[in-house]
Amino acid sequence: MSALDATIRTHRRQLELSRRFLAGLLALRSCLLTDAERLRRRAGDPGAAADERAQRLARSIVEVEAQILRARAAVNDAVEALARHELAAARRARVGRASRRLALR
> pLDDT for 28-81, tens place per residue?
999 999 999 998 888 766 666 778 888 999 999 999 999 999 999 999 999 999
Q: Which domain holds residue 15?
A: 3-104
Rounded CA-CA distance 36/66 in Å is 18
- Whole-model pTM? 0.80
Domains: count for the chain = 1
pLDDT at position 31: 97
Rounded CA-CA distance 105/102 in Å is 5
Q: DSSP alpha helices (H): ranges in 1-105?
A: 3-41, 48-104
Rounded CA-CA distance 58/104 in Å is 69
